[in-house]
Amino acid sequence: MTVQRRERYAPWALLVLVLIVWELLCRGFGVSEFVFPAPSAIAAKLVEQGPLIAAHAWRTFWVTMVGFALSIVVGTLLGFLVGSSRLAYAAMYPLMTGFNALPKAAFVPILVVWFGIGVGPAVLTAFLISFFPITVNIATGLATLEPELEDVLRVLGARRWDVLVKVGLPRAMPYFYASLKVAITLAFVGTTVSEMTAANEGIGYLLISAGSSMQMGLAFAGLVVVGAMAMAMYELFAWIEQRTTAWAHRGTHGG
Amino acid sequence: MNFVEFQEVWLAYNDELLAKQQFAVEDITLAVDRGEFVAIVGPSGCGKSTFMKLATGLRRPSKGTVLVDGREVAGPLKITGMAFQSSSLLPWRTTLANVLLPLEIVEPHRSQFRAQRAMYEEKGRKLLQSVGLGGYEDKFPWQLSGGMQQRASICRALIHEPKMLLLDEPFGALDAFTREELWCILRDLHAAQRFNVILVTHDLREAVFLADTVYVMSRSPGRIVAKKAIALPRPRELELTYSKEFTDIVLELREHIGAIRRPLTSSTGAAELAS
């Protein structure tokens, strides 16, 4: 097998290995399904409760996508503002870092007071938790401009806007895609956390209700589904990144 | 008539330094003819790059005046093109698209760029061919060697047909052979188009080989300590750089920059050789 193919299959091989070890441990020690279900039990639950899980998963998925879309728009605009002006950078960066340090789960009760139980808090939690990496990455991409290149363009009469559009934005694109990969997984975390306390639908709600009725198989099945969705979206953005900003990854396939 | 004129130009980078009377360049007076190739040499930190910023209008002098083409320089001068030691090509643009970048910014090309794109691309390809980059137009900069990138960078500086080309140690990061190759390319471009060149360098051979006039600057404060007209006939070939008259000029300029370190006294020198 070539090195490339080996690298390609490595994560799947590891996954299978982990599942086998898990299964063997559960069977070998006779662990009760109410404590820690084996992969086979989780798979069985996934099939058995398929329609129920799918309905909750779909809810979590679209709520996350709405929150994520919001954070792309707001995150990009904020990043543009912060990255294009030194004053804005100085003024906003410390505040934003402070905000980012707050646990977003703590916002959920407040959001419930404002928006009630349901979609509102989930969308906003997904947004709050995922816009920061986008903003930081766009701002960094815009702020790192070689002084020589700026001179070359300024002497031609380039305005700030020209430099931003011709150089800053394209330069920020790899950072932007990298941040999307981080942000989408965070957005799923935000939605799930919010659904756990403030919703009657979604994977978060499913986890809580399954847990409280000791249906550990179902709870784990929910976890598997939310993990799979986040991975799938991550891979999607990784793929888009490869297609659109190949120039930034030239080292990886021998340019 | 003089194309570029510096009249007792002083520059301090900010008000604080001005108050302390610390200038990056001091009392620079010089005059450059139309089409003249000028080289400015000096040790690092002597204000060579500052000189470039003054000549392009990116910096206004603290004292004195800079005149280009008979008018005082009051802001960025669009009739100039610049290239630096780092080629600073944009990695997401092809070589050709990089060369065309100035046309997307500078008027009058900017407003006609979309409509006349084919014409401009043709022009860009011709220019790239003239520096030996034919066939590489659609490659990305990171697929080119350092010398090729630098040629593309010079093409980018020339695409809008500037009257003045400013080069800040453009060949500083290249190996000796590539550097000599690019000297010849620059020599030929200058011979064909007769634009003004101000070349900032710390390579004396480069300066003497290429320039009509060499100015030597001293270390901080930056002052011009010597002016030397290079009377060698054009076109100059690379062999010239090994001739006696050439090396004499280089040595003469070298002495202006600072005393060349003499070998240690004969006894210690001999001891070092023995060990």
User: Which of B58, B91, B107 faces A155 most closely, judged by CB atoms?
Assistant: B58
Inter-chain touch B92–A247, beta carbons under 8 Å: yes
Cross-chain Cβ contact A154/B105 below 8 Å: no
Contacts of B112 (CB under 8 A, 6+ apart): none
Q: What pLDDT, on the 0 to 100 scale, is given for residue A251? A: 55
Look at A157 and B105 and tell me if their CB atoms are within 8 Å: yes
pLDDT of residue A212: 86
Q: Best residue in B90, B105, B200 to probe A by mutation, most A CBs within 10 Å? A: B105
Is the separation of the CB atoms in B215 and B199 below 8 Å?
no
Identify the CATH number of the domain in which residue A202 sits: 1.10.3720.10
CATH number for B262: 3.40.50.300
Q: Which residue of B has its CA nearest to A146?
A: B88
Contact residues, chain A, for B140 at CB < 8 Å? 247, 250, 255
CB B128 within 8 A of CB B96: yes
- Is A7 part of a structural domain of the chain? no
Q: How far is CA A43 from CA A58, A212, A217, B40, B139, in A?
A: 19, 20, 8, 76, 51
ipTM of the complex: 0.72
> Which DSSP state fits B107?
T
Chain A nearest C-alpha distance from B195 (Å): 17
Minimum Cα–Cα distance from A149: chain B residue: B88
pLDDT at B212: 92
Q: What is the mean pLDDT of residues A134-140?
A: 87
Q: Does A179 reside within a domain?
A: yes
Q: Is the pLDDT of residue A71 over 90?
A: yes
- Is B3 inside a domain boundary? no
Query: Cβ–Cβ of A155/B140 closer than 8 Å?
Result: no
Kindly give, in sequence order, each residue whose CB lies less than 8 Å from that of residue B56, ignoring residues fewer than 6 positions away.
Answer: A151, A155, B73, B76, B77, B80, B82, B166
Contact flag B142-A250 (C-beta cutoff 8 Å): yes
User: Encoding tokens for residue A253?
Assistant: 């396939």
CA distance A211 to A221: 12
Helix (H) or strand (E) holding B6: strand B2-11
Q: Is the pLDDT of residue B272 over 70?
A: no
pLDDT tens, residue by residue, B107-130:
778 888 888 888 888 888 988 888
Domain presence at residue A10: no
Residues with Cβ within 8 Å of B87's Cβ and at least 6 positions away in sequence, in order, are: B141, B146, B149, B150, B152, B153
Is the torsion defined by CA of B111, B115, B121, B127 positive or negative? negative
- Assign A20 a pLDDT band (cuts: 50, 70, 90): very high
Q: What is the DSSP string of B199-255?
A: EEES-HHHHHHH-SEEEEE-SSSB-EEEEEE----SSPPGGGGGSHHHHHHHHHHHH
List of chain B residues whose C-beta atoms are within 8 Å of the C-beta of residue A173: 92
Query: In b/e form, how buried is each residue of A126-142, taking b as 16+ CB within 10 angstroms?
Result: bbbbbbbbbbbbbbbbb
**Which has the closest alpha carbon to B43: B219, B225, B259, B197?**
B219
- The answer to whether A166 contacts B101, with C-beta atoms less than 8 Å apart, is yes
pLDDT band at B220 (very low <50, low <70, confident <90, very high): low
Q: At what angle do helices A216-244 and A50-84 cross, to 10 degrees?
A: 40
For residue A250, what pLDDT is reported?
66
Interface contact flag, B58 A152, Cβ < 8 Å: no
| DSSP tag of B39 | E
pLDDT at res. A164: 82
CB atoms inside a 10 Å sphere around CB B28:
25
Which of B85, B87, B101, B110 would best serve as a mutation to test chain A binding (most A beta carbons within 10 A)?
B101
CA separation, residue B64 to residues A110, A194, B6, B54 (Å) = 64, 67, 8, 11
Tell me whether residues A166 and B143 touch, CB distance under 8 A.
no
Q: Is the dihedral of CA A139, A145, A147, A152 positive or negative?
A: negative
Distance of residue B169 Cα from the nearest chain A Cα, in angstroms: 12
What mean pLDDT is predicted for residues B47-55?
82
Question: How do residues B168-202 score in pLDDT, each as one tens digit?
Answer: 888 888 888 888 888 888 898 888 888 889 999 88
- Average pLDDT of the segment spanning B138-152: 88
Residue A69 pLDDT > 90, yes or no? yes
Selection from B246, B166, B172, B253 nearest residue B218 by Cα = B253
pLDDT level of residue A255 (50, 70, 90 thresholds) = very low
Q: Is residue A33 part of a domain?
A: no
At residue A188, the 3 state secondary structure works out as helix
Q: Which domain holds residue B105?
A: 32-60+69-274
Chain A residue closest in CA terms to B83? A152
> What's this model's pTM, rounded to 2 decimal places?
0.74
Structure tokens given for B143: 């697929």
Nearest by CB: B105 against A148, A153, A247: A153
The whole-angstrom distance between B131's CA and the closest CA on chain A is: 20
Split at pLDDT 50, 70, 90, the class of B133 is confident
3 state DSSP class of B140: coil
DSSP state letters, A108-121: HHHHHHHH-SSHHH
Taking CA–CA distances from A147, the nearest residue in chain B reads B88
Residue from B37, B41, B31, B26 nearest B255 by CA: B41
Query: Does a structural domain hold residue B8?
Result: no
The whole-number pLDDT of residue B262 equals 52
Nearest to A78 by CA among A191, A179, A163, A190: A179
Output B258 or B246, whichever has higher pLDDT: B246
Angle at B268 between CA B262 and CA B270, to 5 degrees: 95
What is the rounded average pLDDT of the residues A225-253?
Answer: 81
Residue of A1 and B232 predicted with greater confidence: B232
CA distance A154 to chain B (A): 7
Q: What is the pLDDT of residue A17?
A: 93
The dihedral formed by the CA atoms of B170, B172, B176 and B178, expressed in degrees to the nearest 10: -30
- The verdict on residue A55 lying in a domain is yes
Structure tokens at B102: 């100035």
Judging contacts by C-beta atoms under 8 Å, the chain A residues touching residue B167 are none
> What is the domain count for chain B?
1
Amino acid in the structure at residue B225:
V
Q: Specify if A172 maps to a domain.
A: yes
Q: How many CB pairs under 8 A join A and B?
A: 69
With respect to residue B144, please indicate whether it lies within any of the assigned structural domains: yes
Q: Which residues contact B102 (CB under 8 A, 6 or more apart)?
A: A152, A153, A156, B81, B109, B156, B157, B159, B160
Q: Rounded to an integer, what is the distance from CA B267 to the centroid of its chain?
A: 44
In A, what residues contact B, Cβ < 8 A? 146, 148-149, 151-158, 162, 166-167, 170-171, 173, 245, 247-248, 250, 255
For residue A40, how far is the Cα from the chain centroid? 28
Question: Please, are residues B134 and B128 in contact by the beta-carbon 8 Å criterion?
Answer: yes
Structure tokens belonging to residue A31: 């662990």
Residues of B in contact with A152 (CB under 8 A): 82-84, 88, 102, 156-157
Whole-number Å distance between alpha carbons of A56 and A78: 32
Q: Which one has a higher pLDDT value, B89 or B271?
A: B89
How long, in residues, is chain B?
Answer: 275
Tell me whether residue A254 is in a domain: no
Dihedral over Cα of A8, A9, A12, A14: its sign: negative
In the predicted model, what is the mean pLDDT of chain A?
85
Residue A71 near residue A187, CB atoms below 8 Å: yes
Percent over 90 (pLDDT), chain A: 10
User: Structural domain tally of chain A?
Assistant: 1
Domain interval for residue A78:
38-248
